[in-house]
Chains A and B, each alone.
Chain A
Amino acid sequence: MNRSLAPRDCALAFLLTVWVGSTHAAPSPQWDHDEALSSAEGYVQLRWHFGDVEPENIVYELQEGRRPVFADTDTRYRGPATSSFVSGLEDGISYFRVRASVDGEVTWSEWSSTVEVDVKHHDRNFALLLMGLGGFVFLSTAAFLIVHRNDPTSDGGTS
Chain B
Amino acid sequence: MNEASALLDPTIGWILLSVLSVIWVGLGVYWGRKAANLEGFMLAGRNVGLALGTATAVATWITSNTTMLAPQFALQLGVWGMLAYCTASFGLFLFAPMAERIRALMPNGFTSAEFIRLRYGNVAWGIFLVISLFYGITWMISMGMAGGILMEALAGIPYVYGMTAILLVCVLYTLFGGLFAVIGTDFIQSWIILIGVCVVAIAVLNTVSIDEIYTNLERNRPALLDVLFPAALMAIFNNMLFGLGEIFHSNVWWSRAFAMRKGVGRKAYGLAGLVWLPIPIVAGFLGLAAPALGINVARPDMVGPVVAGTVLGEVGAVLVFVIVFASLASSIDSLLAATSDLVLNDFVKGMIARDASDAQLRRLGTAVIVSIGLVTWAFCAPRIGTLASVLFFAGPLVGSAIWPIIAGLYWQHTNRHGAVAAMLLGSAGGLVAYFTLGWYTATLIGTAISMLVVVSTSRFAPQTFEWSRLDAGPHGGHTEVGR
Contact = CB atoms under 8 A, between A and B. Distances in A.
A128 B236 CA distance: 11
Given A137-B451, A153-B105, A142 B411 contact: no
Interface stretch (B27-35, B36-44, B90-98, B390-398): B90-98
B469 interface: no
Tell me whether chain B's interface is mostly helix, strand or loop, or mixed: helix
A137 to B, nearest CB: 5
Contact of A127 (B222, B224, B230): B230
A84 interface: yes
B149 interface: no
B1 A81 contact: yes
Contact of A131 (B78, B220, B236, B403): B236
A89 to B, nearest CB: 6
Contacts of B412: 155-158
A109 interface: no
B238 interface: yes
Interface string A115-126: 000000111101
Interface string A124-138: 101110110111011
Interface in B384-438: 402-403, 406-407, 409-414, 438
22 contacts: A41-B77, A79-B2, A81-B2, A85-B298, A87-B224, A121-B229, A122-B231, A123-B230, A126-B230, A131-B233, A134-B236, A134-B237, A137-B444, A137-B448, A138-B244, A140-B451, A141-B402, A145-B98, A153-B467, A156-B409, A157-B412, A158-B411
A124 B232 CA distance: 11
Contacts of B458: 159
Interface of A: 40-43, 45, 62, 74, 76-77, 79-85, 87-90, 121-124, 126-128, 130-131, 133-135, 137-138, 140-142, 144-146, 148-149, 151, 153-159
A88 B231 contact: no
B413 A88 contact: no
Contacts of B282: none
Contacts of B406: 141, 144-145
A155 B5 CA distance: 62
A75 to B, nearest CB: 11
B15 interface: no
Given A81-B296, A121-B223, 14 more contacts: A43-B76, A84-B296, A85-B303, A121-B229, A121-B231, A122-B438, A123-B230, A124-B230, A124-B233, A130-B233, A130-B237, A135-B237, A138-B237, A159-B407
A148 B297 CA distance: 47
A121 B237 contact: no
Contact of A85 (B75, B234, B402, B414): B75
Nearest to A89: B223
